[in-house]
Every structure is written in C-alpha cells, then in structure tokens.
Structure 1
Amino acid sequence: MTQVDFYVLDERAMGNRFTLACRLSEKIYHQGRRIFIHTESEEESRHMNRLLWTFRQGSFVPHGMAKECNPLTTPVIISHDKESGEEKDVLINLASVVPSFFSRFDRVAEIVDKEPQIVTAGRERFRFYRDRGYPLNKHDIK
C-alpha cells in the first residue's frame, strides 16, 4: 500500500512548497530513488523545472519535463498531465487534488505551505487518504 507523507511548512518557515519540493527531490534523488513531481499547470511545471536548477548553489538534481526528456534515464520527471506515464518510486504532489495515479507509487509526498487555499486543499487530500485507509505521516517543517 502507498505510504503518504504530508510535509507542512510552519508559519515561520522560509520558502514555499516549491522550494520544499526541491529540497525533498534532492534528498530522495541522493537515496537513489526515482521521482515524479506532479503540478497543477504547465506554468507550475516550468517553474519547478527552473527552480530545480537554482534553488541551492552547488546542488544538482537531474530532471526534466515529462514530454521533453527520456523518462527511462531521467530520475526526476515533472508534469501536470492527468497521467504519470512510467511508474516511479516517489510522487511529489503539488497539485490541489489527489492525482488519479497516486497508488502506482510506493510513496506520496504531499506538500502544504501557509497559503490559505493550499492549507484547505491539503486538508481535503488528507481526508481523502485517511478515509481510504492509507498510512499517513505528518512532518512539520520549520
């Protein structure tokens, strides 16, 4: 069964959910795992693509947009499409709803920052997973 982790940025935390997605991607990549970052829109996907190059000096996380790279050789794929394509180890969800393909992943990372609409959508996703019996963890990020 898919393990679901909610990462909730504290009110005083620096950065936003996109920055945290970069930090998580870097950590997960260095563990040798494959990652699919799901966003709300093409604009958000492009933003994540740029941010992964610049979020931290000296960091390198090999990544690409789903339709612009080889998913078999690229460890971090970014997309806003309704389907994920190839299954991966970890899904980082930045969209406001639970993607229909989430259960293909060993692990889902749901990221919630301090924006009111993001908090509300995060609570709805939490209820979705809880009501279906998925194992949940919550991590408060300061």
Structure 2
Amino acid sequence: MTEITFHFNAADRTSYACRLLDELLKKGGPVVVCAPAPLLDRFDRQLWTFDPEAFVPHQRADRADAVPEPLQASTVWLLEDARLATRHETLLNLHDRTPPGFESFARVVEVVSQEADDRAAARERWKHYASRGYLIARREVAA
C-alpha cells in the first residue's frame, strides 16, 4: 500500500520542496513532482537557483509518451498529472488536491506551508487518504 507522508509548517512550500527533492534523490529516485502548470513553471526555475552548490536534474513532460519507462533513478520529473507516469517510487504532490493516480506510487509526499488556505487543502487531502485506509505519517518542518 502507498505510504503517505505530510511535511507540515514549511515557511516556503516550494523552497522546502526543492531541498526535500535534493534529499530524496540522494536516497535514490526517481521522483515525480505533480503540480499545476503555473507552479511547475516557477518550481522549474527555482530548482536551478535554490542552492548554488546543489544540482537537481529534472525534466518536464506534458504527455505520457514523453515520460520514459523505466525512469532514470537520478531524475526528477515535473508533471501536471501524476497519471502520466506509471508505477514509480515517489510522488511529491504540490497540487491543492489529491492527485489522481497517486496509488500507483510506493510513496506520496505532501508539503504543507503555514498559510491557512494551504493547511485547509491539506486537511482535505489527509481526510481523503485516511478515508481509504492509508496510514499517514506526519513530519514537522524545522524552522
């Protein structure tokens, strides 16, 4: 069953997600990041600048045939729709909703900021996962 982990209280959601991706890749990838197109644009740029000494190889795809099988272990894929990738290890969700197809991943990571709207959307995603029997881990982001 898919493992779900929420990382709560990130001061800046995308900055934290960049650092988290760097760590996830060091543990072994690949990682799929799922977010709406405008956020993916901003996140794509931020991955190049968040740390001058870090390199997070990433690629964006908007069609299923653009995502190779199997994914390279050292790559981050930026997708609007998680269903574009088939069974993979880790999905980092930056959508405000539960991503369709999340259950095809071994692990889903949710990053939640301190903003009220983001926290409210995260509560709905938490309820969605819990109502379907998924065990959920909670992590507090260090300030």
Q: TM-score, normalised by structure 1?
A: 0.88
Find the residue that maps to 2:8 and give its secondary structure: strand
* TM-superposed deviation, 1:42: 1.3
Partner of residue 106, structure 1: 106
Q: What corresponds to 1:33 in structure 2?
A: 29
Hey, what does 1:59 align to over in structure 2?
54
Q: Which of residues 10, 19, 23 in structure 2 aligns to 1:23?
A: 19
Q: Secondary structure at the match of 2:17?
A: helix
Cα distance in structure 2, aligned partners of 1:84 and 1:95 = 15
**What does residue 133 of structure 1 align with?**
133
Contact 2:83 2:101 in 1 (8 A): yes
CA distance in 2, matches of 1:24, 1:62: 14
Q: How many residues align?
A: 137
TM-score (norm: length of structure 2) = 0.88
- Flag structure 2 segments of 5+ consecutive residues without an equivalent: none
Tell me: CA distance 1:109–1:52, structure 2 relative to 1, closer, same or farther (3 Å): same
**Percent identity over paired residues:** 31
Q: Which residue of 1 aligns with 2:97?
A: 97
